[in-house]
Homo-oligomer: A and B are copies of this chain.
Amino acid sequence: MTRISLEALNAADPAAFVQAIADVFEHSPWIAERAAAQRPFATVESLHAAMWAEIASAAASTQQAFVSLHPELAGRAASEGEMTMDSVSEQGSTGLDRLSPAEVERFTRLNRDYRARFALPFVICVRRHTRASILSEFEHRLASTQQDELAAALREIFYITRLRVDDRVDGAGRPRVHGHLSTHVLDTLAGRPAAGVRLELRDISDGFPGVLMKQETTNADGRTERALIGGQPLRIGRYELTFHLAEYYRGCGVALPTPAFLDEVPLRFAISEPEGNYHVPLLATPWSYSTYRGS
């Protein structure tokens, strides 16, 4: 996607502004048209806030019509090629374009029930979710009320459009849309960072053995060179970090029994805040370990 600077957006004529930014809000160029008049924007976040205010302050009937313009998840629009490019990309990122027939059937049923009940498509910011958490939210929200679901859909569109603005626009004052997952291994036998520890991160949202996301080895500071996940929202879901602890201590020349009391140490945790910082360290000896949500 071509990015444009906030400065250029502030300087563009209204038509060019609308052309550049209108599709942040699905099929609703009027939002960009009204926001154009409020320029200049000091920050990327205030650009999004101004656009968002147009829909947030609209009448409920306008909001209902606006939400209705959104595609279903894994739905007919997708299979018939009617989604916006953004929606195609977003749904693909979560694997919603690669469902088994049984999963397609499940989504079809959920979409139908949801629309029957609320006269709305089910809208969710898929980039903040795993497939498992989407299904869990879907079932949960089916039990909600019309009014709460209109609010829920708008809240999700807030997340969707904030990410789209962040994707498209360069400049200062960016919204906080990305989370951060990191780890750190401390060798409390030697009182120093544990260097050279192999570790894996798996997405276990859909059960075991899960999907391997990263294989890393700790550096001299006991950390991975880059964040385990960064520069994107952390998908709500369940994860497991596995540390090859016995291999590390044997490499340090520490005598361990066969088999070692602790060998592959799993830390299993869930992420519930896509924009949060999750630091999940391992403090270990060959005979003990601890972990915690750090920062």
A interface list, Cβ under 8 A from B? 133, 186, 188-193, 208-209, 221-222, 236-238, 257-266, 268-273, 283, 285-295
Closest to A260 in B: B270
Do residues B221 and A288 form an inter-chain contact, with CB atoms below 8 A? no
In angstroms, how far is the closest chain B Cβ from the Cβ of A18? 39
A263 CA / B239 CA spacing, docked (Å) = 11
Oligomeric state, in number of copies?
4
A273 CA / B260 CA spacing, docked (Å) = 11
In angstroms, how far is the closest chain B Cβ from the Cβ of A201? 16
A270 CA / B287 CA spacing, docked (Å) = 11
A56 CA / B250 CA spacing, docked (Å) = 34
Do residues B258 and A262 form an inter-chain contact, with CB atoms below 8 A? no
Select A288's contact among B191, B262, B264, beta carbons within 8 Å: B191
Do residues B295 and A193 form an inter-chain contact, with CB atoms below 8 A? yes
A188 CA / B273 CA spacing, docked (Å) = 17
11 A-B pairs, CB-CB below 8 angstroms? A186-B294, A188-B288, A191-B293, A257-B270, A257-B273, A261-B269, A265-B268, A283-B290, A285-B285, A287-B293, A289-B290
Select A270's contact among B188, B261, B272, B283, beta carbons within 8 Å: B261
